[in-house]
Every structure is written in structure tokens, then in C-alpha cells.
Chains A and B, each alone.
Chain A
Amino acid sequence: MAKVERSLGEKLQSLPKPVLYTILILVTSIPQFFPVPLPNKESKSSEDVFNLLTTIPEDQPVLIGSDWTNSTRGESGGLFKSMIRILMRRNIKFAIYTTADPQAPQVAKDVIRLLNEERKANNQKPYEVWTDWVSVGYFANPEGTANSINNNVRAAFADKKSPDAAGAMKPVMDSPVLANVKQVSDFSALVLVTASNTSNVTIERVTKTKLAMMVTGVMGPETQVYYESGQLKGLAIGLKGCYDLETMMAKKWPGKEYVNMDNGAKYYPTLHLALLLLILAVVAGNVGMFMTRKRTVQRGS
């Protein structure tokens, strides 16, 4: 009897890693074939982002920092899509720049191309590059860029080019999107979608316009600090934030022609199971520990 108990207790404490890993793979892959909608409660910070995006004036452009690539597309991708969808629905012009990764602009362009195809499919007018949005491109030095954006945005973007409607390369500042931008405060907001520490760099240096951020789950806590202190007007964190935005969009734009549910809806259910697995593993470990501990106590007495 005691034998069984001991072996069980110690088994629970020392499950071989391969077993754990295999279970994790199964748990994270199988459920994806059977997506199910989940109830949700939006967190305050995501609501603030949503409210910001849905209330900013339509005649002012938004400046978007897109500092993510495919390695974090699971979270950042979903957040980015939701934001762009909202802006497109409100016909707000936007300019995208990046300081994190040379690939980021391409990644962003690809997403926008997809969303445009989606709009065509739902016979909405596609967002034209140069007239409706423009990609400023990549800047190698985050600190310097943030400084000079805050200091003189025209100067910061001066020697960046983008193909115009006809496909000829022209300075981005000549584009209809940025035509009326004299300084950074002419943007209704700067929304930074980031998976790296460009968040701190930006908070430290860009002070002259509304700042909101969409960060990965891991950056949540440290960025939360700036949200609490009011330096950020809104903050969407990771997959939860993504799902929050998607549910809020679904409430605001219930129409069939609107695609609201995307990455968030796709991954959130699976995430639950994965987290559940983690909790179970921890519980198992502790139960095992207590079982063995009890045993030693018994022996001691």
C-alpha cells in the first residue's frame, strides 16, 4: 500500500520531460481543428485602446509604429489586424514606420494587402497606398528616430520615399496622408504595435501626441506601469487584448460584411487548454510532493 503511494507520489513529482512536451504539443494542436466561441470580459486597458481608436477625429492621420515580425505574429499580428480594421472602417488615414526590424514594413504591407482583399470580397472600397495609407519604412536607430519624430517629424521622415498611386517613388511627406502634418501633434495618436523594447524608447522620447500601445503578453507587466501612470492612453496586451478588441468590434460592427473575429478567436480556446495543462502540471507536482512528505512524516512518527 505504502509502496504504491510512494511510487505514485514520486511519479507525480518527476514526470519525464518528453511526456510533458508531447502532451503540450497535442493540447496545442488538436483543438485548433475544432474552434469554439468563448465568452469574454474585456479588460480596462484594452477598452481604452478601443475607445481611443473609435473616437479619434477622422480628418487627422494616425501614426503607427509597427515593430513586429512573423516571429510574434500570433499576438502582434492579431492586434495589428484589429487596429487596421477599425481604422479602415472609420476611413482614417495612417502612416506606418518601424524602428525594430527591417522586415517589419514588409510584414505590415502583407497584412494590409490581405485586409484589402477581404474588403474587396465584402465589396468595401480597398485602402489605397499613398492616398489612404503610406509606409514610411524602417529606421535603424530607435532612440534617434523617436527623438527626431518628437522634435521634428517632417525632418525625421524627410528622406523616406514611397511609391505613389502611379508607382513612382516620391517623398512620403508629399503623400495626401502626411500633407497636413507639420509636427507630431498633428497625428491624432501614435499607436505602437511592438514586440521589443522600442516601447520604452518611445515612451521616453515621444511626448507631444497621444500614445497607445499594443504589446505582447510578456511585455504586459512592464508596459502596464506606463499605462497606470497615464503615459499611455491605452494598452492592449497579448492574445487577451486581441480577443478583447475583436469582441468589442463584434459588438460595435455586428454586420455580416465586417470580419471581426480573427487570431484572437482562432487561438483563445486552445490557449485555455494549454493554460489548463500548465495548472494541472503544477498541481500534480505539488500533490506528489505532499504525498511523499506525508510518507516521510508517517515514517518519522
Chain B
Amino acid sequence: MFDINLAPMLAQYYVGDQYRDTGWFGVLFTLMIALFVLFNIARAGKGKDLYIRRIPGLNAIDEAVGRATEMGRPVLMVPGLSDSVNAIVVQALNIFSYVSRIAARFSNPILLCCYNAAIYTVAQEMIRDVYQQEGLGDRFDPDSVRFISDRQFAFAAGVSGLILREQTAATFFLGDFYAESLIFAETANSIGAIQVASSTQPTQTPFFIAACDYVLIGDEFYAASAYLTRAPVLVGSLVGQDWAKLLMMSTIAVGSILGSFLMGPFSQKMISEEKVAGEYKPTKGFDEQPGPRPVKMEDTIIHQLLTPAPKGDVKVKREPDPDAPAPTDAAAPAGGGE
């Protein structure tokens, strides 16, 4: 009874696999979010100043570095344990370049521990830039940005060793942290270092909360550099992200309310046709015999939009390829996908 299948409108045989049934909605939704972000970046670029709420953990940064300077002990930073460079690492490094800028001004030693060579490359680059921008290029010690190990627990051992030997006064753990989060946090805590931490892994946040002074929860981490630098691009994108969240929230709110009314309320509405794998089939009643059954959430439009279930067995007639490879490898048009 709720049909929003685009397939018939498009050519029968050539709808992209991902667009079949309600698949198009996912693509649309993603593109919409992208649009929100880009639009707001453009908007902010036009010099429209946008509001950002206060993020407590970040005000602590200056304090932490300041304290390290008083004690003349180094500031230690870890941009997480991502397998390679990705947005999370870059984001962490953005914050760290802010930190090391302050450190550089106070000519306070820094230590940046990298989990793999790619991260090391980016970090070297970015931190040196910071020192050069501050006109302190000669003060930059390449060894202050180090590759420790690309093996999770070797890394953990190495970093905690460093923390204990260098007696770091302030530590920043921002990015992808897994099991080792607590090793770092407790070690640093045991020597009384000020800690600002955040993990993009929800499962690690509680441990940081238990052991660190300031914790950025969830995507406060992503908001951080926008908050610190107020760069239009970042602020704009942050607003766009909020729009996206609002979109998701309203989708769910509206979905729930509509759904509840379609299902009842206070009495069960029945249907006699349900959509199975993109096709409408008569329903089974409680007695497993064909017959009407109560409406479920799965029958509502929004639910079907969010979970496409394209028809399984589709055949498309295509010409055989004259110079097709031998049958044994015909199964492997694209090699093994290691």
C-alpha cells in the first residue's frame, strides 16, 4: 500500500544496483548532507559569522601547556592509532598544531608520537610548518615528532615508557584510540600530568572520563578545530553537520509519529499485502494462513526508504564478450581483492 519503488519509472533493466527498490534514497540522503556542509561552508566564506557553543575541554589546552612551561617539562601528543592517515588523524593534528604553536612561543619542548609512517610524514610536515610560521624554524627538533611503532601494544609500551621517563607535564590523546587508551591515561595520571583526551571510539570514552582531566565526547572532537581557529571553512562545515543531525533527528521523530498512527493508535490497523524483497505479497495472519495482519513499522514508507530490499533474482540479457578470458578466471574479472 505504500509504494515508492522508482524502478518502473526508470528503464526496466538499467537501474543501478544501488538505486533499485528504494536504494536511491540512501544516495540522495548522503548527497543532501554533503550539500548542507558545502552550502554552509560557502555561507561562512561570505563572512557571515556563525555561533559555536563553548567546549570546556578545549579551554584547558592553554592552561595545560602553560603549566608544562612552568615545570619546564614536555607536552606529549598522540594523534591516535589509525591504520593510515585519515580525517581523524588530520583533525587531531590540526588541534596539535594549535597546541605546539603555543608550546613554540613558550619554547616548551614537545613530543608527538606517531603510530605509523604515513601519520609521521604528515605530522613532521605540519609541526615544522607551525614552527616556521612562528619564525622559530631553527628551534624545531625533527626528533620531537617520532615514529614509535605500528604495532598496537608495542606502541603502548613505548609511549608509556616515554611518559614515565620524560615526566611529561601535559598529555593530549586525541583521535582513534582502542584498548590502549587506559594504559596511556593511567600512566600519565600516575605522574600527575594534565590530560586532555578524546576517542572517536565510543567504547573508549568512559575510560578517558575515568582517568583524564578533560574529555572531548564524540564529535566535540570534530568541532574542536573550528572552535579553536574559527576558520570559516571549519565553522561552516560544523553548521552543516548540525543541519545533517537535525535532518536525522527529524526523520526519526516524524517517522515514529507517522508510524504510530499508521499502526494504530489504540487499535491495530490491518494490512493484507506486504512488501517482500521489493515485491508485494499477500500477508499471513496469526494462524500462519493467508490473511490480514497488523501493520508493522517495517511496512511504513520511511522505514522502507531507509532499508532498501531490492528484488533478488534479476536477469539482464547481455552480449557475450568475444575476447572473454577462459572460464577458470572468468570468475575473476577483477583479480583477488586483497
Contacts and interface: CB of A to CB of B under 8 A. Distances in A.
Pairing of A with B: yes
A145 interface: yes
Interface string A165-205: 00000000100000000000000000000001100000000
A131 interface: no
Nearest to B332: A158
Contacts of B178: 196-197
B203 A148 contact: no
A159 B178 CA distance: 33
Contact of B336 (A157, A196, A219, A221): A157
Interface stretch (A23-31, A136-144, A269-277): A136-144
Contact of B153 (A71, A159, A221): A71
A155 interface: yes
Contacts of B153: 71
A8 B203 CA distance: 35
B154 to A, nearest CB: 11
A99 B332 CA distance: 20
Given A158-B329, A173-B331, A140 B203 contact: no
A154 B338 contact: no
B334 A159 contact: no
A240 to B, nearest CB: 16
Interface residues of A, number: 26
Nearest to A196: B178
Interface in B187-201: 190, 201
A156 B203 contact: no
A210 interface: no
Interface in A69-101: 71
A11 B7 CA distance: 72
A155 B334 contact: yes
A145 B338 contact: yes
Interface in B323-338: 329, 331-338
A159 B203 contact: no
A139 B336 CA distance: 9
A237 to B, nearest CB: 12
B161 interface: no
B337 A145 contact: yes
B162 interface: no
Given A155-B331, A155-B332, A158-B329, A222 B202 contact: yes
Contacts of A278: none
A221 B203 contact: yes
B179 A218 contact: yes
A156 B179 contact: no
A266 interface: no
Given A71-B153, A218-B203, A158 B335 contact: yes
A149 B337 contact: yes
B331 A144 contact: no
B337 A156 contact: yes
B338 A139 contact: yes
Contacts of A221: 202-203
A221 B205 CA distance: 12
Contacts of A145: 337-338
Contacts of A222: 201-203
Contacts of A71: 153
A290 B217 CA distance: 30
Contacts of B338: 139-141, 144-145
B203 A155 contact: no
A221 B178 CA distance: 14
- Residue of B153, B190, B331 with most chain A CB atoms under a 10 A cut-off: B331
A144 B335 CA distance: 12
Nearest to B206: A221
A145 B331 CA distance: 16
B326 to A, nearest CB: 13
Interface in B282-338: 329, 331-338
B110 to A, nearest CB: 29
Contacts of B336: 148, 155-160
A141 B179 CA distance: 21
B337 A154 contact: no
B152 to A, nearest CB: 9
Interface in A109-152: 139-141, 144-145, 147-149, 151-152
A71 B179 CA distance: 12
B334 A219 contact: no
Contacts of B202: 221-222
Contacts of B203: 218-219, 221-222
Contacts of A17: 190
12 contacts: A140-B338, A149-B337, A152-B331, A152-B337, A154-B331, A155-B333, A156-B337, A160-B336, A173-B331, A196-B178, A221-B203, A222-B202
Counting from the closest, the 6 A-B pairs by CB-CB distance are: A148-B337, A158-B332, A154-B331, A159-B336, A155-B332, A156-B337
Given A154-B331, A158-B329, A221-B202, 7 more contacts: A141-B337, A144-B337, A145-B338, A155-B335, A156-B336, A218-B203, A222-B202
Interface of B: 153, 178-179, 190, 201-203, 329, 331-338
